[in-house]
Chain A
Amino acid sequence: MISTINAVQKLTRFAERMLTPRILHFAKEQIFWQCPGLTACESSPSSLPVGVYGADTKLELKWRRALHQDRLTDLDTADLNAIWQHIVRSYTSCNLTFSGDKLIALSGIATAMQRGLEEKFLAGLWDATTVQDRPLADLGDQLCWTAKTGKKINGSPCVRYKDYRAPSWSWASLDGIVTLRDRIIERNPIPTFEIKAVSVTLQDEVWVTGPVKAEGSRLELRVQTLPMEFKATSREWHRWEARCTSVDGEFTFDALMDDFDEVKSMSGDTDGSTILAEVVILACDVPDGSYAGHGLVLKQYEQGTDTCMYTRAGCVAFSGLAKGQWQDVVERSAWRDIVLL
Chain B
Amino acid sequence: MICGRCRAEFFAPGTWTTLRSGQRFDILRWACEVPEHKHCTLCSTVLKDTIAALDTSQNTTDALSKNQPTSNWQRDVKVWPQLPVKVERRTGRLSFIVGPYSADFILQDGSDFNGISLKARLFIMSPRSRGSEEASVNLGSSTECDGSIQQAKDWLQACNSSPEHAECAFMARNQTRRSQGSGDDLFVPTRLLDVGTTEKPEIRLVGDTKKEGVQGPYTTLSHMWGIPMGDRFQLTNENYEQFCRRIDITDPKLTLTFRHGMEVTRRIGVRYLWIDSICINQGDDADFVRESTKMEEIYRNSYCNIAAVDSENGSQGLFRSRSPEDLPPDIVKFDGRSYTFLRPDLWDQQVLSGPLYSRGWVLQGKP
Q: Which residues from chain A sit less than 8 Å from chain B, CB to CB? A: 1-2, 6-7, 9-11, 13-17, 19-33, 35-46, 48-54, 56-57, 60, 68, 70, 86, 89-94, 104, 107-109, 111-112, 115, 179, 203-204, 206-207, 210
Q: Indicate if the CB atoms of A21 and B124 lie closer than 8 Å.
A: no
Which residues in B have their C-beta under 8 angstroms from that of A49? Answer: 108, 110, 124, 126, 340, 342
13 sampled A-B residue pairs with Cβ under 8 A: A24-B152, A25-B307, A36-B165, A42-B327, A45-B137, A45-B151, A45-B155, A46-B135, A49-B108, A57-B347, A107-B292, A204-B293, A210-B293
A24 in contact with B289 given A50-B110, A56-B363 (CB within 8 Å): no
A2 in contact with B296 given A22-B303, A25-B307, A37-B164 (CB within 8 Å): no
Which residues in B have their C-beta under 8 angstroms from that of A91? Answer: 365
Q: Indicate if the CB atoms of B289 and A204 lie closer than 8 Å.
A: yes
Does any Cβ of A come within 8 Å of B215's Cβ? no
How close is A94's CB to chain B, nearest CB, in angstroms?
A: 8
Q: Indicate if the CB atoms of B108 and A29 lie closer than 8 Å.
A: no
Q: Indicate if the CB atoms of B344 and A40 lie closer than 8 Å.
A: no
SS class, residues of chain A in contact with chain B: mixed
Which residues in A have their C-beta under 8 angstroms from that of B319? Answer: 26
Which of B14-22, B68-76, B243-251, B350-358 forms contacts with chain A? B350-358
Q: Which residues from chain B sit less than 8 Å from chain A, CB to CB? A: 108, 110-113, 122, 124, 126, 132, 135, 137, 139, 143, 148, 151-152, 154-156, 158-159, 164-168, 170-171, 220, 222, 224-225, 260, 264, 289, 292-293, 295-297, 299-300, 302-310, 318-320, 322, 326-329, 340, 342-348, 350-352, 354, 356-359, 361-367
How close is B146's CB to chain A, nearest CB, in angstroms?
A: 13
How close is A38's CB to chain B, nearest CB, in angstroms?
A: 7
From A17, A19, A35, give the contact of B300 (CB < 8 A).
A19
Q: Indicate if the CB atoms of A56 and B159 lie closer than 8 Å.
A: no
Q: In the bound complex, what is the Cα–Cα distance between A108 and B171 (angstroms)?
A: 19
Q: Indicate if the CB atoms of A16 and B299 lie closer than 8 Å.
A: yes
Which residues in B have their C-beta under 8 angstroms from that of A107? Answer: 292-293, 295-296
Q: Indicate if the CB atoms of A70 and B171 lie closer than 8 Å.
A: no
Which residues in A have their C-beta under 8 angstroms from that of B304? Answer: 20, 22-24
Q: In the bound complex, what is the Cα–Cα distance between A46 and B126 (angstroms)?
A: 13
Which residues in B have their C-beta under 8 angstroms from that of A15? Answer: 295, 299
From B143, B158, B364, B367, give the contact of A31 (CB < 8 A).
B143
Which residues in A have their C-beta under 8 angstroms from that of B158? Answer: 38
How close is B203's CB to chain A, nearest CB, in angstroms?
A: 20
Most A CB atoms within 10 A — which of B170, B264, B293, B310?
A: B293
How close is B44's CB to chain A, nearest CB, in angstroms?
A: 17
Q: Indicate if the CB atoms of B108 and A51 lie closer than 8 Å.
A: yes
Most B CB atoms within 10 A — which of A24, A49, A112?
A: A24
Which residues in B have their C-beta under 8 angstroms from that of A30? Answer: 139, 143, 148, 322, 327, 350
Which residues in A have their C-beta under 8 angstroms from that of B135? Answer: 46
How close is B116's CB to chain A, nearest CB, in angstroms?
A: 10
Q: In the bound complex, what is the Cα–Cα distance between A39 and B363 (angstroms)?
A: 22
Q: Indicate if the CB atoms of B340 and A19 lie closer than 8 Å.
A: no
Q: Indicate if the CB atoms of A28 and B152 lie closer than 8 Å.
A: no
Q: Indicate if the CB atoms of B362 and A31 lie closer than 8 Å.
A: no
Q: In the bound complex, what is the Cα–Cα distance between A1 and B361 (angstroms)?
A: 9
Q: In the bound complex, what is the Cα–Cα distance between A50 and B114 (angstroms)?
A: 12
Q: Indicate if the CB atoms of B322 and A52 lie closer than 8 Å.
A: no
A-B pairs with lowest CB-CB distance, top 7: A90-B365, A54-B348, A111-B296, A20-B305, A37-B165, A51-B124, A19-B299
Which residues in A have their C-beta under 8 angstroms from that of B126? Answer: 49, 51
From A9, A11, A22, A207, give the contact of B289 (CB < 8 A).
A207
From A33, A108, A112, give the contact of B152 (CB < 8 A).
A33
Q: Indicate if the CB atoms of A22 and B170 lie closer than 8 Å.
A: no
Which residues in B have their C-beta under 8 angstroms from that of A11? Answer: 361
Q: Indicate if the CB atoms of A14 and B362 lie closer than 8 Å.
A: yes
Query: B356 — nearest CB in chain A belongs to which residue?
Result: A13
From A7, A14, A32, A90, give the contact of B350 (CB < 8 A).
A32
Give me 9 other A-B pairs in contact (C-beta within 8 A), A28-B320, A29-B320 excluded: A10-B357, A14-B361, A25-B307, A37-B159, A37-B164, A39-B347, A108-B296, A203-B289, A207-B293
Q: In the bound complex, what is the Cα–Cα distance between A94 and B361 (angstroms)?
A: 9
Q: Indicate if the CB atoms of B155 and A33 lie closer than 8 Å.
A: yes
Query: A11 — nearest CB in chain B belongs to which residue?
Result: B361
Q: Indicate if the CB atoms of A42 and B293 lie closer than 8 Å.
A: no
Query: B137 — nearest CB in chain A belongs to which residue?
Result: A43
A40 in contact with B155 given A10-B361, A19-B296 (CB within 8 Å): yes
Which residues in A have their C-beta under 8 angstroms from that of B297? Answer: 111
Q: Indicate if the CB atoms of B329 and A43 lie closer than 8 Å.
A: yes
How close is B207's CB to chain A, nearest CB, in angstroms?
A: 21
Q: Indicate if the CB atoms of A108 and B295 lie closer than 8 Å.
A: yes
Which residues in B have their C-beta under 8 angstroms from that of A54? Answer: 344-345, 347-348, 352
Q: In the bound complex, what is the Cα–Cα distance between A115 and B319 (angstroms)?
A: 36
Q: In the bound complex, what is the Cα–Cα distance between A27 and B319 (angstroms)?
A: 8
Q: Indicate if the CB atoms of B220 and A16 lie closer than 8 Å.
A: yes
Query: A61 — nearest CB in chain B belongs to which residue?
Result: B347
Q: Indicate if the CB atoms of B110 and A35 lie closer than 8 Å.
A: no
Which residues in A have their C-beta under 8 angstroms from that of B326? Answer: 29
A28 in contact with B340 given A54-B345, A107-B295 (CB within 8 Å): no
How close is A288's CB to chain B, nearest CB, in angstroms?
A: 24
How close is B292's CB to chain A, nearest CB, in angstroms?
A: 6
Which residues in A have their C-beta under 8 angstroms from that of B222? Answer: 13, 16-17, 23
From A38, A45, A179, give the contact of B367 (CB < 8 A).
A179
Which residues in B have their C-beta under 8 angstroms from that of A53? Answer: 347-348
Q: In the bound complex, what is the Cα–Cα distance between A208 and B165 (angstroms)?
A: 33
Which residues in A have their C-beta under 8 angstroms from that of B343? Answer: 52
Which residues in B have their C-beta under 8 angstroms from that of A89? Answer: 365-366
Which residues in A have their C-beta under 8 angstroms from that of B347? Answer: 32, 39, 48, 52-54, 57
